[in-house]
Amino acid sequence: MTRKQRRMTIIGGSLAVLALAAALVLNALRDSIVFFSTPTMVAEKHVPPGKRFRLGGLVQPGSLQRGDNLAVTFEVADGGAKLPVAYKGILPDLFREGQGVVAEGALDAAGVFKADTVLAKHDETYMPKDVADALKKQGHWKDDYGAQAADKASGGPKPAATTAQGSSQGAVR
């Protein structure tokens, strides 16, 4: 093998691996990406049932109802619209009415958001950034939410979020 042929083999191999990776990424991008929405956005966009997305907003005060065997229902509101959420499992330590929450799941045929994951941060002043931004954009932001929440990203390169999981199918965060 000449020097040139050897080089071509290596370049060819590299291109093959790169092409493989690009194909894998493009394929994965089609259906493994989860979008973030607020109740208002859900109402506007008519998200089809069964499509997974992340729902963010405030837990409507007075809406939390606990059923049998750890089933809970609550409403997520963003000032403009409300969306009922059903979840089965243990809620994170800092899940409170009136506070921010992010849930992941999909709408069912009745228009109820079936969450299999509920996220909340481990700090009582924390307002999920996604929720805060969405509320700000819609003009429902009150300064007292964010006053202390601003730079609470606590130290250490460790994820400070807890997740409550309803199903064992693996968390999608």
Residue ranges at the known binding site: 122, 126
Least separation in angstroms between CB 49 and other proteins: 19
CA pair distance 111, 147, nearest whole angstrom: 34
Least separation in angstroms between CB 106 and other proteins: 14
Least separation in angstroms between CB 50 and other proteins: 15
Number of neighbouring beta carbons within 10 Å of residue 12: 10
CB closer to other proteins out of 81 and 172:
172
CB closer to other proteins out of 69 and 109:
69
- In sequence order, the β-bridge partners of residue 120 are 162
Least separation in angstroms between CB 77 and other proteins: 18
CB closer to other proteins out of 109 and 168:
168
Which run of H or of E encompasses 87? strand 82-88
3-state secondary structure of 168: coil
CA pair distance 89, 41, nearest whole angstrom: 26
CB closer to other proteins out of 62 and 171:
171
Least separation in angstroms between CB 75 and other proteins: 19
- Could you tell me which residues are annotated as the binding site for heme? 122, 126
CB closer to other proteins out of 139 and 170:
170
CA pair distance 157, 154, nearest whole angstrom: 9
Per residue in 36-72, is it b (16+ CB within 10 Å) or e — as a string?
A: bbbbbbbbeeebeeeebbbbbbbbbeeebeeeeeeeb
Residues that bind other proteins (CB under 8 A): 1, 3, 6, 9-10, 13-14, 17-18, 20-21, 24-25, 27-29, 31-36, 54, 66, 69-70, 88-91, 93-94, 122-124, 129-130, 133, 150-151, 153-166, 168, 170-173
